[in-house]
Amino acid sequence: MGTVILLALTGLGLAALYFLVASGLSLVFGLADVLNFAHGLFLGVGAYGTWWAAGNLPGAGPDGFGFVFAVAFGVAAGTLVAILVELVLIRPLYSRTIEQVLVTVGLSLAGVALLQATWGADARPFPRPDWTRQVTGIFGAQVPNGGLLLIIAAVLVLGAILAFLRWTRYGLVIRAGVENREMVTALGIDVRKAFTLVFAIGGAAAALAGALGGVYFGTVSPGQGGSLLIFAFIVVVIGGMGSVVGSAYAAVVVGLVQQFVNYYGTSGLGDICVVGLLAVVLLLRPQGIAGKVATA
Amino acid sequence: MTVIDAPRAQVPDELSPQRGRWQRVRPFLPLVALVVLAILPYSTISLPGIFEGPVNSPGTLQLLAICLIFGGLAAGYDLLFGRTGMLSFGHALYFAAGVYGTDILVTRAGLPLWQAALLTITGGTILAALLGAVALRTVGIAFAMVTLAFAQVGAILVARDFGGLTGGEEGLPLDVSGLPAGLVGVTNTVNLYWLALAYLTLVVFVVHRVSGSPTGRVLAGLRDDERRIGVLGLDPYRYKLVAFTLAGGLASAGGVVYVLIVGGASPHITSSELTLSLLVMVVLGGPGTRWGPVLGGVLYMYLDHRLTAFGTSDAVDNLPAVLSRPLSQPLFVLGTVFILAVYFFPGGLTSLAPRLSHLTRALRPRGR
């Protein structure tokens, strides 16, 4: 019983990480039709920003309030990079989907290489508060606190994004834009501001994933974003493009399947099961759990 | 009933192609290039700065062979991306199938090379057909993601080393004891070079023939307007599957040659980064053109290898750290060049020549 609960909670921790990356990807894709390969870069910037701030920034540190400050710095850095990428690189290419994908591909290659050039290819130990290294006993299972932190953060982010989408004017514009962008434009609303906004939200969520992922794994390395990104893509497709709630459901399913199958089957089998799940979803329900049909 | 020939359309003089001195030679240029490449190993010229040793030293020949392989791979990938408009992110899978298939059949099963190669290429083609049949049920970005996910399964299978076949993270060195003597050893690198050249020629020939055939015209139509092809009564799915299968087969053939040149398989060739770099090669060279992807592939691999040496050279080391560190990362330089290419010369390298000729024509004095 303890094992099942432990697996469920660590699976949910993984799901939280996927959700943080996938929610931004899904919103960006749903609204702006940009498949953002550079999303892993935002994650890397968030992780390295936190890591750098904890060591160098006055007032920030690996513990207590200093750690919160360091994470805030990392998230701010990730958001800033995301906004810059949207304004400088993506905006001139709107409605040219393939070129946008190509630019984000180039950016992901160059950006990860830049991180690697600045801080080296090896994984660095991540500064984290002592309490995240410990475990909490829940129904007889010893659950690592880092995973619980991820779950709490993901739930908060999910709530915040949903509240933003439901109760603010810009949230309304974004929801309408995902449904039918041309109509929103025809009503005289500048959707491009909303594009920048979803990039900022996505960048912030991904940077948070980077910072908390660093806490969870204990290390930070330039390639971390890339390997998470593929599963985040899978989560986005299964959940349905443009749907935050769909991403949340899909992230939970993917995280749990991966964790349980990897434990009870051979290691690595869970990852393959996830891809199998993707194939099944695409064949039976191409639009995902909740979302519009993905077309070019 | 008599048939009246329509009068020939009058083409303004400035639009009809000028039959200059070069126009007559142009069709033979590829042949000349092939001959030059084929006799290159006999020359002992050393090009300091471009290659480390003389041209016929084994190190240089191996680098050239890898460049040629990737020229062929990029040309094969262009059959999907540039000519059919399919954005596949899983092309590395079929290449890796070629590399690991040959390696496993030769090293673990002890088959002779020709049997292993034949089985691998057949297997790779069938794999491409099966996975393509599933993936092509989606279109556009979803297709890209599905192919990416399939390729990821390949990467996981190789890295986790199920059944102890692939050697996991450490890769699998090729057992050379059963190979033909002409393909083994440093002194025989030249044979591998010719093999790579033959592969490149084969791919260019196949892609050229396919794109010139009626099927190729349908593929171009799919790239430009898929719905219209459907309205004309042709099944887009079948044609796309043909292109996907063919490209997969060509990629696995490339893998067979690559494993001989490198002498083993390592897990990084299964990564999605390899597909991304194929994409970069094609776009840098010029998608949908005959020579663009080949040029892009050769140049990319050359730069990828040489920029590492360039990055550690004195000229770069003496720069301030802000500049020298990024410059020592080949992927940073290539990624940046790629982004610039997408913005400023979308047709790739091959589009530069017409652009330059426009420029020179504009700069030429009016009197002529």
B305-349 tens-digit pLDDT: 887 777 666 666 666 666 777 777 778 888 888 888 888 887 777
Contact B64, B43 (CB under 8 A): no
Cα B329-B332-B335 angle, rounded to 5 deg: 145
Of A32-41, A67-76, A122-131, A189-198, the least confident: A122-131
Q: Looking at residue A100, what is its pLDDT?
A: 85
Q: What is the pTM of this model?
A: 0.83
Mean pLDDT of chain B: 83
Query: What phi and psi values does residue B57 have, to the nearest 5 degrees?
Result: -75, 150
The residue assigned the tokens 């050697």 is B167
Q: Would you give the DSSP letter of residue A191?
A: H
Q: How far is CA A34 from CA A143, A162, A286, B48, B156, in A?
A: 37, 21, 18, 44, 27
Q: How many CB atoms lie within 10 A of CB B118?
A: 14
Chain A interface disruption, residue of B87, B130, B153, B169, most A CBs within 10 A: B153
Cα(B107)–Cα(B192) distance, integer angstroms: 19
Residue from B137, B145, B333 to probe the interface with A (highest A Cβ count within 10 Å): B145
Which residue of B332, B333, B337 to mutate against A (max A Cβ within 10 Å)?
A: B332
* CA B149 and chain centroid, separation: 21
Of B92, B83, B35, B37, the closest CA to residue B254 belongs to: B92
Partners of A261 on chain B (C-beta within 8 Å) are: none
| A285 vs A175, higher pLDDT | A175
Q: Are B78 and B348 in contact (CB under 8 A)?
A: no
Please say whether the beta carbons of A18 and A157 come within 8 A.
no
Helices (H), chain B: 21-25, 29-39, 58-84, 91-103, 113-135, 140-160, 189-212, 214-224, 226-231, 236-262, 272-285, 292-311, 314-317, 321-327, 330-344, 352-363
Residue A68 touches partner B, C-beta closer than 8 Å: no
Nearest-CA distance B317 → chain A (Å): 13
Q: Which of residues 203-232 of A touch B (CB under 8 A)?
A: 226, 230
Question: Is residue A15 scored above 80 in pLDDT?
Answer: yes
Residues B54-110: pLDDT tens digits?
777 888 888 889 999 999 999 999 999 888 888 888 899 999 999 999 999 988 888
d(CA B106, CA B249): 19
> CB neighbours of A208 closer than 8 A, spacing ≥ 6?
A20, A46, A71, A74, A75, A78, A153, A157
Q: Is the ipTM of this complex over 0.85?
A: no
Closest residue of chain A to B347, computed from CA coordinates: A99
- What would the pLDDT profile of B101-149 be if each residue is shown by its tens digit? 999 998 888 888 889 999 999 999 999 999 998 888 877 777 888 888 8
Please give the residue of chain A at the shortest CA–CA distance from B154.
Answer: A272
| Residues of chain A found within 8 Å of residue B331, distances taken between Cβ atoms | 109-110, 112-113
pLDDT of residue A286: 67
What does the DSSP assignment read for B153-211? HHHHHHHHTGGG-S-GGG-EE--GGGS-GGGSSGGGHHHHHHHHHHHHHHHHHHHHHHH
- Cβ within 8 Å, pair A99-B342: yes
* Contact call for B325 and A107, based on CB within 8 A: no
Residues 6+ apart with CB under 8 A from A58: none
Give the range with max mean pLDDT: A97-101, B73-77, B175-179.
B73-77
State the number of CA atoms in the 13 A half-sphere of A136 facing the CB: 11
Do A113 and B134 make contact, defined as CB atoms within 8 angstroms? Answer: no
Shortest Cα–Cα distance, A75 to chain B (Å): 24
* B163: pLDDT strictly greater than 80: no
